Every structure is written in C-alpha cells, then in structure tokens.
Structure 1
C-alpha cells in the first residue's frame, strides 16, 4: 500500500474527512480497480451521523467531506444532522463506482467493551441499511494481542482465547 489511513490511540475517531484511498499496482504504477473509503467513527455525541454513513454507502458523499471540531466549516460531518442535498459535497447522481460494495467495520479489540449502547445501535442501523441495499458486510477486530495476554504470548492462541 502506498498510503495508509492515519490512526489514533486515544479511543476517539481520528478521521475528520471522508477520504478515498487507492492502492497502486507495483508493476506499472496504475491502481487496482477498487478503493477504500474511510469515514469518521461512531463516538457518542462526536461521531459521524448514521445517516451520513448511509448516504456514503449510496454514493452521495463526495471525497473530502470534512469534520473540523471547534472550527467553522461549510461542509462538515455533524453528529446531530446529516449532509444536506444542497451541500457542495452532496453527490446528487452517484455512479456505480461511487457506491459502496462492501461495508467494513473496524473495531479495536482492547476497546470493544467501551462501545456504548448508542454506538451499537448506530452500527446495527447501518448494517440493516447495508443489508437492504445488498451490501455484504465484515468486521475487522484489531489489536487482538493487546486485548488478551494469552494471544499476546502466542498469536496462534487467537481462536482459543476466552477474553470477552
């Protein structure tokens, strides 16, 4: 991968902008025929509005849609309201390539127990919408070695771990 999404270890979403990542082919400098779109997380009162995630899955959110906390910004993720149709970052006529084809939820294993009821409800609602749109889904659990001492000692114990 030639570029990676930035991450933070503080338990808050680091993503402030809806960002598209392309993967470069090594042999000829062209790109693979798929992209990854990164969106802000679901923190309570500060995370992305679930309606914005649904709009992004339908292809209505343009690359660069931003959240700037404590600053004035015309186009921003807002946990209390969704992207409006008259916003310049609203894509009125999304093409097939603008739409999501897989929904991936990334959760840190050592913080999964911190997910509150509101975040879980948002995740469920987004997943139900993705199902209605026929979008396959997957979850990626990161930092599994930090969540369980048994796994940290030997990664082969990952499927034997009893950590909840």
Structure 2
C-alpha cells in the first residue's frame, strides 16, 4: 500500500482588526507627554529605569533607540555588541536623555551585564537585586564570579530613593523567547519576584519583532497588532516569565537603519511612556508613605 499523502499545514490567519490600538500619528504627542512629565517629588529630577535580560536581547540597542527617537537621528550612546553571545555592557552606567530642543528628559535608564544560561555565567542575579535596592554605585564593574556585597568599600549602605530603581524592565527577544534556556528564565523570574517584593513595578519590552518572526510585521510594522504570530510570542512570554499581557510591549529597535522612522518611534515611545508612568507611580507611593 502506498503511503498517504500528508496534508499541508494550514497557516492560522491573522486578526481582522488590531487587538491593541495604536495611533500612528501621535508621535509628537507622545514625545511631549514624556518630556513634560512632572514627578512632584522634592528629591528627584528623574525616575530610574533598570534594564535586564539575556545577552543579545537588545538592551543597549533599546537605550540607543530611545535617544534616536528624541534626537530625530540615529544615535549610539550605549555600546552594542554584534555578537549575540557576548555582552558589551561591563559597568553600571546611568544614561540620561536629551531631546532635539536640548531639554533633559525626566528619566534615566541603567543597563546591566547580560544574563547567561548556567549557574556561574553572566551577571549574578544578586547584583541586579542590589541595583534595585540602590546599593550599586555608578561605574561599578560587574563581576560574574563575585556579586557586590555589603563589605565592599563603595557599597551604598543607606541608599536614598534617588539611588534606587523605580521600574524594572525585562528585555526579551521575540525570536528566542519560546526556546530560551530554562536557567535563564528562572534567573529572570527570580529578579522579577525580588522587584515585586520590593514594590517595584516591572514590565517587559519584547525586541526583535521583525527579525524573521512574522513576515507580515517584517513587511509592515504597523500590522504588529494584527499579527497572530506576535501575539503568540507575547503569550509565550506571559507563560514563561509571568507578566500579564498588558505589561508586555513589543518594539523594533534601530539596528541597521541610518534614519529614524515614525512607526518605530511610536512603538518605542508607547512602551517608554508606560514604563515611565509605572516608575512615577512607584515614586509617588514612596513619597506618600514617608509623609
């Protein structure tokens, strides 16, 4: 008997209408809202945002993309490494941002050495927890073998709200979340739980949404919330890491472009606005608690 011919696998159709609304004409409004955010706190001029995630996820690229949006041209202020297996970031550095009108924006973003699979590779999660609590000094060089401890000379023993992180952002690549090593996932979940225990809000920025993940989005980024594949990747992230879908923001970083474009800008600004709002809410709670 001849073998039966296998039926071709039918692709699941994309959605007819966007399942998350985005106004692609609101770039200037988003920029203005982010520029004009008032913290209403006597000790702070900026909220502090900390990025963490696996090596090659696009953390430094996200920082550069944010600055590119506000400058209106491609900017490189945080080092990027083209090799996905190597982290360029070695030290704890605060990145401030200035718009095209030379105004300093009300947020700071810190990057950290990338997480790696296995017990003794990449940054020790305890270093990120120390950063969350405000114990890590500017310029601290990450040591995968030995995390920062209280006995270290430049350990900040009594951190102020200014030293602490006000929002944790987990950066994950859409093209790898479903096959990310379990040890990496456990490290990220541990860090997110520590942030939650400290009352620090945490969200997810999903990068590389147009890196061979979905042909529709690769062709037209405005179709990102029409794409069923992108929603599936976000659901993978929700299932593996634990954040609700409303806290996951897909973005497309500037990587190979030489000029900025409105669509990428709107996605980046939309994610950033939610992150800064979360950080501001945390700061407000801390201020209210102290009064």
Distance in 2, matches of 1:148 and 1:9, equals 22
Alignment of 1:1-150 (within 5 A): 1=67, 4-12=77-85, 13-27=87-101, 29=102, 31-44=104-117, 45-66=120-141, 76-78=142-144, 80-146=145-211, 147-150=213-216
Higher relative contact order (CA 8 A, sep 6+): 2
- Structure (1 or 2) with the larger CA radius of gyration: 2
Unmatched tracts of structure 1, length 5 or more: 67-75
The alignment partner of 1:145 has SS state of coil
Task: Name the TM-score, length of structure 2 as normaliser.
Answer: 0.48
Residues 42-98 of structure 1: per-residue CA shift (max 9 Å, x gap): 1124211111110000000111111xxxxxxxxx422x4321222234211211111
Q: How many residues are paired up?
A: 153
Give the superposed CA RMSD. Answer: 2.1
Unmatched tracts of structure 2, length 5 or more: 1-66, 68-74, 234-291
Distance in 2, matches of 1:40 and 1:25, equals 27
Q: Which has the higher helix share?
A: 2
Distance 1:110 1:9, change over 3 A: farther
Distance 1:3 1:150, change over 3 A: closer
Aligned to 1:73: none
Distance 1:37 1:117, change over 3 A: same
